[in-house]
Structure 1
């Protein structure tokens, strides 16, 4: 028997003797009989319930009592309240969930969202990592020739899923070599392991020291693409381009260099040293890489005595064989693809298929990829998306004195014949002479 029960009964016996004690006995009996009920009521009291409720349920109860808007929390999640001026406000609406980048479409092996090299927006870092995208030195270089179709060739090749090319002409091996190979690599595009990296700078063709630099800094096994066309037509196109640049500079001034970073005095000194070395190499090689413009094309290519101005880059760049021989000193013939630019303009498909085989990518281009623009008078891309070269391409040529044209053709004739002997292939523009 418990001590509490024993004492209660003892008090009840005493209560029989005195009335005050009887009152006490009644209270004790009440406690004895309703002991369990009182304990249960104590455990189920409202105060105890508040303590045991989770914090977000109590906060919900307060909101209801205060007649405030209620936001219920999902199960198994934490609930956060926003306070402004110590008053509870509705939580902000959930942000719209970003759509995941597709990884199973036709561009799933690409590092950029568009195939066109002029609109190069990289995919997210997560996808780049998943696809193995990285920057690496070029597998192929389009080194020239200026105004022979290099831009069109690169633009078309950019639509091949296994080819990626830099948008800008980087001019690293001719005028930005002082910036170092890290700068060059940083300005090249991301590429998957399957893709071939390409860079195009037409002036590489005529700079004397560029073949050696490419061989040393990239690889002796890098592929070289050279596209040539009728040297007379190329010279006219070169003049029109340079003359337009001259007139634009008079109005707009010198255009800002978008690629070369701000240089410290030390880097400026290094650039000047490289310029002096390049100038010495150009003079030693007997080359003329700077265009000299007269008032007309005729004044630019023929002097007062009626002789062709060999020292003008507009003329010198068309002596293809002299420059190609310098490239052959560093790269074997089977690593150099020489494209007939006039054949490329008339029908790009066979040439692009030739390039695919040369650089080692899958067959992609067919006639379905192109259409002929009647207004611009050259071929444009029809698929995978419609794309065409800008208006600055295909500039109208001026009427040239027939005597000057004949003089230029006679000037180039022996060099063209030599070109056939060195390269082992014929060229479309040489049909004007029966010897070819």
Structure 2
């Protein structure tokens, strides 16, 4: 009987040695699979439905992403096309009008007033091309100008042009049609449509003079620098009369040139 038990144990051991060695994880997976099989086809079908629903959700999100990417691409293409169109329609041009003077005559204020107009594009800093940088050439000068579209007027201002003898001939060489602006009274010969009105100005009580603003924008009013708006000194009436007598013949010559009597006498 004992021999029989030993033989049976020996057979079991020999048999088991022919079965592949299973790790704990494999045993666990087999047990899980067995449990799934035991639950039946209904449970398996529910799992497949859940998986299908998840896949449908992923596919739906993927389609939405593709559509949004396509729309974004179209928008980018449209924006790029529009940007390209605007860039092609805008270019840097030599100025068609230049404020040449006079010094301390309100040329900065005039330039800032004009820049409020949508048909005006002007460089802010004084280029000093025709008096100090003429040797750098017109290409250098053009690069200083802002981009403008067809129909817009490009401008700059350098008051020292007024007292530099070479400037008139140099500007004429660039273009005989360039308009020269000297601050006298009413710079109304640029042919601009009326746009700038009282709503473009905001009185600053601290400075004592109006600052500029754009009614359609939300930015703060733009005021001129600290050196602007200074109180005029008191001048002896005899000095004033002496100056009037000195400039009287020049004023009359100017009236004749412009065809307008400003009544400064």
- Tell me which interval the TM-score lies in, with the shorter structure as reference length: 0.5 to 0.7
Residue 95 of structure 2 corresponds to residue 152 of structure 1: no
Task: Give CA-to-partner distance per residue, 1:48-84, whole Å, 9 cap, x none.
Answer: xxxxxxxxxxxxxxxxxxxxxxxx89748xxxxxxxx
Residue matched to 1:177? 134
Q: Which residue number corresponds to residue 224 of structure 2?
A: 389
Once the two structures are superposed, residues 361-417 of structure 1 have per-residue CA deviations (whole angstroms, 9 ceiling, x without a partner) of 333122222244444343332433522212210123333344333322222222223
CA distance in 2, matches of 1:196, 1:379: 25
1:319-359 deviation digits (Å, cap 9, x = unpaired): xxxxxxxxxxxxxxxxxxxxx1xxxxxxxxxx46x2xxx32
Residues in 2 aligned to 1:211 and 1:128: alpha-carbon distance in whole angstroms: 38
- Provide closer, same or farther for how the CA distance between residues 161 and 215 of structure 1 changes in structure 2, counting only shifts above 3 A: same
In structure 2, list runs of 5 or more residues that go unmatched: 1-57, 64-71
Q: Which whole-Å CA distance do the structure 1 matches of 2:83 and 2:181 have between them?
A: 32
How far residue 125 of structure 1 moved from its aligned partner, in angstroms, is 11
Helix, strand or coil at the partner of 1:359: coil
Residue of structure 1 equivalent to 2:242 = 407
Structure 2 counterparts to residues 79-90 of structure 1, below 5 A: none
Q: How many residues align?
A: 192
Q: Could you tell me the TM-score, scaled by structure 2's length?
A: 0.62
- What does residue 378 of structure 1 align with? 209
Task: Give 1:169 deviation, angstroms.
Answer: 0.6
1:426–1:152 CA distance, 2 compared to 1 (3 A): same
Stretches of 4+ moved more than 6 A in 1?
none
Q: Find the counterpart in structure 1 of residue 13 from structure 2.
A: none
The answer on 1:364 being equivalent to 2:195 is yes
The structural deviation recorded for 1:201 is: 0.9
Task: Give me the whole-angstrom Cα distance separating, in 2, the residues matched to 1:393 and 1:138.
Answer: 26
Structure 1 residue 154: Cα displacement:
0.7
Distance of 1:402 and 1:374 partners within structure 2? 29
For residues 412 and 173 of structure 1, the distance between their equivalents in structure 2, rounded to whole angstroms, comes to 27
CA displacement at 1:164 relative to structure 2: 0.4
How big is the shift at 1:127?
A: 2.9
Distance change >3 Å, CA 405–CA 128, structure 1 → 2: farther
Residues 416 and 170 (structure 1 numbering): CA distance in 2 closer, same or farther, change over 3 Å?
same
Q: Distance in 1 between matches of 2:105 and 2:139?
A: 30
> RCO higher in 1 or 2 (8 Å CA, sep ≥ 6)?
2
Q: Are the equivalent residues in 1 in contact too, given 2:116–2:196 (CA < 8 A)? A: no
1:172 to 1:126, Cα distance in 2 relative to 1, 3 A = farther
User: Is 1:205 the counterpart of 2:40 in the alignment?
Assistant: no
Q: Does 1:222 align with 2:178?
A: yes
1:214-240 Cα deviation digits (max 9, x unpaired): 1112x2112221113xxxxxxxxxxxx
Q: 2:169 and 2:196 mapped to 1: Cα distance?
A: 33
Instruction: Report the structure, 1 or 2, having the larger helix content.
Output: 2
Gapped runs of 5+ residues in structure 1?
Answer: 1-71, 77-96, 105-123, 229-339, 341-350
CA pair 362-414 structure 1, distance change in 2 beyond 3 A:
closer
Tell me: CA distance 1:410–1:370, structure 2 relative to 1, closer, same or farther (3 Å).
Answer: same
Instruction: For residue 208 of structure 1, report the CA deviation from its aligned partner.
Output: 1.3
For 1:290-322, what per-residue CA distance to the aligned partner results, in whole angstroms no more than 9, with x for missing partners?
xxxxxxxxxxxxxxxxxxxxxxxxxxxxxxxxx
Root-mean-square deviation (CA, aligned residues, Å) is 3.2
Is 1:139 paired with 2:117? no
State the TM-score, normalizing by the size of structure 1: 0.39
CA distance in 2, matches of 1:125, 1:149: 42
- State yes or no: 1:168 paired with 2:119: no
- Give yes or no for the alignment of 1:423 onto 2:258: yes
